[in-house]
């Protein structure tokens, strides 16, 4: 495949802005594969997740196999390989949060939003995912809601945050 063909193929999947942003990252790394996580983040920032087509296009651009890039995406658990809601709830399921009743809080969230881990609410506002320690163990239990870290979770707090979305997400 010639460089022109690769470029045409890429342009049909990735936007000019995405390719430019990936190029900017490539300027800082000695090997193209060194920009893998940043390239995945760039595409996800625009689209919310990384589709198979995008993953293949990025892999070609970085001269990696799709399998290699998939491995990076899978290892880095903040790359979403399926569509997600407008906000992703990253709920800490590690030990400090667990001993502070994170299981009970998670059950309350699932009840309010009608979803379990991996699920997205019917109104597409939230996707709920487990994550390892968020580094805020002294304020456990904690979660991220989009860009916001929410600490000292209890059932009342969760009710306040998600209670109004309950009706919209009932079958
Ligand atoms: S264990 Fe939950 S933030 Fe560390």
> How far, in Å, is the centroid of ligand 1 from the Cα of 100?
10
Task: Compute the distance between CA of residue 86 and CA of residue 83 in angstroms, rounded to an integer.
Answer: 10
Q: How confident is the model at residue 129 (pLDDT cuts 50, 70, 90)?
A: very high
Run of H or E residues at 128: strand 126-131
User: Between these two residues, 142 and 170, which has the higher pLDDT value?
Assistant: 142
pLDDT one-digit tens code per residue, 77-114? 789 999 999 999 999 999 999 999 999 999 999 999 99
pLDDT of residue 74: 86
Q: Is the CB of 144 under 6 A from ligand 1?
A: no
List, for residues 137-160, the tens digit of each pLDDT value: 999 999 999 989 999 999 999 999
**Residue 137 alpha carbon to ligand 1 centre in Å:** 4
In this prediction, residue 10 carries a pLDDT of: 63
- CA-93 nearest atom, ligand 1: 2
Q: Which band of pLDDT confidence, cut at 50, 70 and 90, is reported for residue 123? A: very high
pLDDT digits (tens, 9 = 90+) for 12-67: 799 999 999 999 999 999 999 999 999 999 999 989 999 999 999 999 999 999 99
Indicate left, alpha or beta for 152 from its phi (over 0: left) and psi (-120 to 50: alpha). Answer: left
Q: Using CA atoms, how far apart are residues 128 and 144, in angstroms rounded to an integer?
A: 10
Q: Label residue 75 by pLDDT band (50, 70, 90).
A: confident
Q: Give all domains of the chain, ordered by start, each with its CATH number.
A: 3-75 (1.10.10), 87-169 (3.40.30.10)
Q: From ligand 1's centre to the CA of 141, what distance in Å?
A: 7
């Amino acid at each position: 495949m010639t460089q022109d063909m690769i470029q045409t193929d890429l342009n049909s999947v990735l936007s000019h802005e995405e390719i430019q942003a990936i190029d900017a990252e490539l300027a800082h790394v000695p090997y193209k594969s060194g920009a893998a996580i940043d390239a995945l983040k760039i595409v996800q920032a625009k689209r919310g997740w990384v589709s198979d087509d995008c993953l293949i296009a990025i892999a070609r651009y970085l001269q990696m196999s799709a399998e290699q890039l998939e491995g990076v995406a899978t290892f880095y658990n903040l790359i979403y390989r399926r569509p997600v809601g407008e906000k992703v709830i990253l709920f800490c399921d590690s030990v400090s949060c667990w001993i502070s009743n994170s299981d009970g809080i998670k059950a309350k969230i699932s009840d309010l939003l009608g979803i379990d881990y991996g699920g997205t609410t019917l109104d597409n506002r939230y996707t709920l995912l487990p994550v390892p320690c968020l580094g805020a163990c002294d304020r456990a239990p904690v979660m991220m809601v989009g860009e916001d870290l929410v600490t000292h979770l209890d059932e009342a707090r969760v009710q306040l945050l998600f209670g109004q979305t309950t009706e919209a997400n009932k079958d």
